[in-house]
Amino acid sequence: MKVIVIDDEPAMHYIMSRLLGKFPGVEVVGCFEDTVSAVRHMEEHEVHVAYVDISMPRETGIQFAERIAQLHPDLHIVFVTSNDEYALHAFELAALDYIMKPVMPERLEMSVNRARALFHSRETAEEPDANPVRIYALGGLEVQTAHGSVKWISRKSAELFGYLLLHQGRVVSRVRIIADVFGDMPPSNAEKYLNTSVYHLRKALDPHGLKSIVQSDSEGYRLHIVNASIDFIAFEENVKRLAEIESSNLEQALESEAQYVGDLFGERGFGWALSDMERLSALYAAFVKKLAKVLLERHEEETAVRMLNKLFNRNELDEETVELLLYAYAAKKDQASLAKLYRNFVKGLRLELGIDPSKELEAVYARLQASWHAG
């Protein structure tokens, strides 16, 4: 099933492509910032479903749906929006679905399944010798192949996969694995659970043709994966490539920011992964701050505010993030949000740490407030 994404915010292209790309048989054949480009593509290529933002300049998603009904009556429209006021109108236009942002994977799956049912077609599997592997470890732990998602048989088998994944192909001794992954068990039980977890892991990977990637020798175990994309590795490489953010690579920077959907392994919270989790988290924070400064220079305050709030929710006591948010709200002329942010930050500092903001931040806030009243 061929789908396209139409949204004037480039970051949504990456988010939707990543989410849709997890569903077997779904192919994202294009992402467009305006409806004109999308229609031009549909004139020359087959498209079955369009995921369309409603609030866009020039032609809204609603206007697009009304027009496209005449040009491409077989196209199914799924509206993806931050506003629910258009829901009734959307379904009057026979929209396939109406999804609210932020898009949840479970909600998107319902939409994809609905589209599949309309086409009366079964999901298509790729050839066995061309079986790309996608590994998502930011925000959780998921392995996707052409055959779907790997179903973990046990919690420890999933943890073992994550542990070997983090060692990126190196052989890890049984002694070290037992100490790191099974250290809370008596030695005799730990040895047994390691063997059982290896068995469960290989059994879970077998339906995907991946049983052989768990390799062992007299020393220990390793993962040997060919043709795999691993999100946290790709994120780190992208950030290093984007040492300088400018107009030519701004969209790539936005895509990289959107790629970081959560900390390494998410709520699983493996103790042995703590240092890597903190390193990637710090890398993400520094990258967002650098990107936000570029966006503010380009007067793209809305996008900057969205990213900085995402960062602020991760650490509400980070003064540098707060300072950038204050500048962003001031640029938006949003005095209410500016004042509320500062009050809450001061309250949080005093409650959690028993301190006041730095003199520098106090001066920034006073200057922004003064400039507001002067204007």
CA dist., res. 104 & res. 16, Å (int): 10
Rg (CA), the chain: 24
Assign domain 299-375 to its CATH architecture. Alpha Horseshoe (1.25)
- Higher per-residue pLDDT: 321 or 217: 321
For residue 245, the model assigns a pLDDT of: 92
Write the pLDDT tens digit of every residue in 27-51: 999 999 999 999 988 888 889 999 9
β 76-81/97-100 pair status: parallel
The pLDDT confidence band at residue 227, using thresholds 50, 70 and 90, is confident
Domain boundaries, the chain: 2-119, 126-284, 299-375
For residue 127, the model assigns a pLDDT of: 40
- Higher per-residue pLDDT: 16 or 188: 16
The pLDDT confidence band at residue 91, using thresholds 50, 70 and 90, is low
Assign domain 2-119 to its CATH architecture. 3-Layer(aba) Sandwich (3.40)
Write the pLDDT tens digit of every residue in 1-26: 899 999 999 999 999 999 998 887 78
Write the pLDDT tens digit of every residue in 95-121: 788 888 889 888 888 888 777 766 543
CATH code for the domain defined by 126-284: 1.10.10.10
CA dist., res. 335 & res. 266, Å (int): 35
| Lowest pLDDT segment from 10-24, 85-99, 175-189, 294-308 | 85-99
Q: Annotate 272-287 with DSSP letters as a single string.
A: GGHHHHHHHHHHHHHH
